[in-house]
Structure 1
Amino acid sequence: MKDAADAAEDITNSRPLELVARAGFAVSGILHFLIGLVAIRLAMGGEGEADVSGAVEQLGSQPAGPLLLWSSFAACVALAIWQTSDAIFDFEHLPAKKKLGKKAKAALQAVVYAGLALTLFSFASGAGKDHTSSTSDLTASVLKAPGGYALLLAVGAGVAVAGIVYAIRGFRQSFAKHLRLPASHKARTAVTVLGVVGYAAKGIVLLLVGLLVIVATIKAHPEESTGLDGGLRALRDQPFGMYILAAVGAGLICYGIFMMVRAKLAKM
């Protein structure tokens, strides 16, 4: 059993898998970049779907779209496997409490990239669908299930807290410890600024999504749980919302560029 575990660890830590996994960060960056562009378009009165599925749909509509979707799918699968390996095999030298936190974080990241891979697979295989209504439908289904009310409140609170954590991580620049920053002072500053602005914007949108889930659950109106796109549209409807939404869109573009840079600089 130990030999099998060692072999699995060697495979998941191999250089080829690392290179493909790094591309997963770039895929995430491209999708956030596209979401940011749509957010700015919405702020200016335009149309579009400012969420992951909408971004994936845009990616698939480009020349060589199927190739882009399938290669992005492979990259996200590789990154999910890499994060799963971290959750299982790494951090053994740390104290128990810190080790558990690191493993949990890696496991959560694995779930996130696995979910992204599933979305990419759905569109690559031609099964993409109306994602806005599906979010509301999922909320309605969970709300009717035993314990669904408490589960949705917990999910909404978890997403909102994750948004706060992202913003704090950005302002404290704690993301920098996961990077091999360039030697050039200007390059280091550029990467840091992208990270601070990007993490803050990502935190805002996660907080909005979490609050929407909580409000929809409390009011028993699942149609109000409309995911990221709905959160950004709700932001636009607030006083000075078009300016705030444009700023958030610019921040998401910064986060997207940061994630593309992370593909090269990340400590794996």
Structure 2
Amino acid sequence: MTCVRPRRAARRTSRSANDSTALQALARAGYVASGVLHLLLGWLAVRLAFGSSGGNADQQGALRELADAPGGALLLWLTAVGFAGLALWQLTEAVAGVPGTDKAKQVGARAKAAAKAVLYGVLAGTAVRVATGSSGGGSEEGLTADLMRAPAGRWLVAVVGLVIVGVGVFHVVKGWRKSFRDDLRATGGGGVGQAVVRLGQVGYMAKGIALGVLGGLFVAAAVTADPEKAGGLDDALRTIREQPFGVVLLVATGLGIAAYGVYSFARARYARL
């Protein structure tokens, strides 16, 4: 009984925070920040397709591009606040439960919200590190090498890779089936609504393809016991470029990621919160 009461109190507090206008406004700002990030990622991917070697085509590289823009320092801090607000909002759903979700599906929905809270929290931290000039963190290859040295390390790396591939497939299916519409209150009327749906469809599928390649790199690293085969989003995009018709494929992927960015702006307005 003594454990149940604090748990219920935590859920009530989380639900109250989740319903607050201020936190919802911060969450919507987080979707705007996500839109900016994906637009920059798309731009970096297109540049990479045509042989640009300036900066990495990943989240940190995109934030550094933002830092170099006029008023970049302020924009970075606003981005960090937006991502932090979105992380906190997802955390309240992980604790209190996801409204409109069947009881049988609540465990999965809350786990998904918790994972998103971690993701957005990491993005907020990355924005802060870039804003303060701190490099922070190691390379994906170094982190993978450390993980491989752990007991059953190769299996752990393989599992990480398969999870990322699974997330990529989920994004592709979500885009193909247009099930992301369930995340929105409405998408406007007529052509405007259809435009938002098309942007979401293309964006989810492009992002899913990039994630699938990224996960494949981790699996390859585990199979070959070579952490150098692992990498981040930049490595995944470079792998796409190395394929037959790679330039065309990478440009299409970059434009798709940018489309996801524009969709995120629409989601900031229409998201169900």
Name the TM-score class by shorter chain: over 0.9
State the partner residue of 1:58.
65
**Percent sequence identity over matched residues?**
39
Query: Residues 182, 162 of structure 1: CA spacing in aligned structure 2 closer, same or farther, 3 A cutoff?
Result: closer
Q: Is the 8 A contact 2:101 2:109 kept in 1?
A: no
State the partner residue of 2:229.
224
Shift of 1:97: 2.7
Q: Is the 8 A contact 1:29 1:256 kept in 2?
A: yes
Is residue 210 from structure 1 mapped to residue 228 from structure 2 by the alignment?
no
Q: Deviations over 1:195-225 (max 9, x none)?
A: 1100000000000000001101211211121
State the partner residue of 1:25.
31
Q: Which moved more, 1:242-251 or 1:37-46?
A: 37-46
Structure 1, unpaired ranges of 5+:
none
Shift of 1:146: 1.5
Supply the distance in 1 between the matched residues of 2:149 and 2:13 (Cα, whole angstroms).
Answer: 45
Query: Residues 176, 105 of structure 1: CA spacing in aligned structure 2 closer, same or farther, 3 A cutoff?
Result: same
Supply the distance in 2 between the matched residues of 1:185 and 1:93 (Cα, whole angstroms).
Answer: 26
Query: Residues 254, 7 of structure 1: CA spacing in aligned structure 2 closer, same or farther, 3 A cutoff?
Result: same
Trace 1:96-111 onto structure 2 (pairs within 5 A): 96-111=103-118
Q: Is the 8 A contact 2:11 2:95 kept in 1?
A: no
Aligned counterpart for 2:80 among listed residues 73, 87, 109: 73
Supply the distance in 2 between the matched residues of 1:64 and 1:15 (Cα, whole angstroms).
Answer: 28
Corresponding letter in the other structure for 1:60: A
Supply the distance in 2 between the matched residues of 1:82 and 1:54 (Cα, whole angstroms).
Answer: 26
Structure 2, unpaired ranges of 5+:
1-5
Shift of 1:12: 3.7
Aligned counterpart for 1:158 among listed residues 158, 163, 168: 163
Supply the distance in 1 between the matched residues of 2:45 and 2:100 (Cα, whole angstroms).
Answer: 43
Corresponding letter in the other structure for 1:156: G
Query: Residues 176, 93 of structure 1: CA spacing in aligned structure 2 closer, same or farther, 3 A cutoff?
Result: closer
Supply the distance in 1 between the matched residues of 2:20 and 2:101 (Cα, whole angstroms).
Answer: 23
Q: Deviations over 1:122-157 (max 9, x none)?
A: 11222125x7x6111111111111222111110000
Trace 1:187-198 onto structure 2 (pairs within 5 A): 187-198=192-203
State the partner residue of 2:3.
none
Aligned-partner SS, 2:139: helix
Q: State TM-score, norm by structure 2.
A: 0.92
Supply the distance in 2 between the matched residues of 1:174 and 1:157 (Cα, whole angstroms).
Answer: 23
Q: State TM-score, norm by structure 1.
A: 0.94
Q: Is the 8 A contact 1:92 1:99 kept in 2?
A: no
Aligned counterpart for 1:6 among listed residues 5, 12, 18: 12
Q: Deviations over 1:164-185 (max 9, x none)?
A: 1100000100001111224321
Query: Residues 32, 92 of structure 1: CA spacing in aligned structure 2 closer, same or farther, 3 A cutoff?
Result: closer
Query: Residues 92, 62 of structure 1: CA spacing in aligned structure 2 closer, same or farther, 3 A cutoff?
Result: closer
Supply the distance in 1 between the matched residues of 2:100 and 2:193 (Cα, whole angstroms).
Answer: 30
State the partner residue of 1:16.
22
Shift of 1:8: 4.3
Query: Residues 233, 13 of structure 1: CA spacing in aligned structure 2 closer, same or farther, 3 A cutoff?
Result: same
Q: Is the 8 A contact 2:48 2:238 kept in 1?
A: yes
Supply the distance in 1 between the matched residues of 2:182 and 2:125 (Cα, whole angstroms).
Answer: 29
Query: Residues 247, 126 of structure 1: CA spacing in aligned structure 2 closer, same or farther, 3 A cutoff?
Result: same
State the partner residue of 2:121.
114
State the partner residue of 1:256.
261
Supply the distance in 2 between the matched residues of 1:3 and 1:238 (Cα, whole angstroms).
Answer: 54
State the partner residue of 1:46.
52
Shift of 1:13: 2.5
Q: Deviations over 1:7-36 (max 9, x none)?
A: 443234310111111111111111111111
Is residue 243 from structure 1 mapped to residue 263 from structure 2 by the alignment?
no
Q: Is the 8 A contact 2:90 2:116 kept in 1?
A: yes
Supply the distance in 1 between the matched residues of 2:258 and 2:100 (Cα, whole angstroms).
Answer: 37
Query: Residues 138, 98 of structure 1: CA spacing in aligned structure 2 closer, same or farther, 3 A cutoff?
Result: same
Query: Residues 239, 22 of structure 1: CA spacing in aligned structure 2 closer, same or farther, 3 A cutoff?
Result: same
Instruction: Give runs of ≥4 in structure 1 deviating > 6 Å.
Output: none
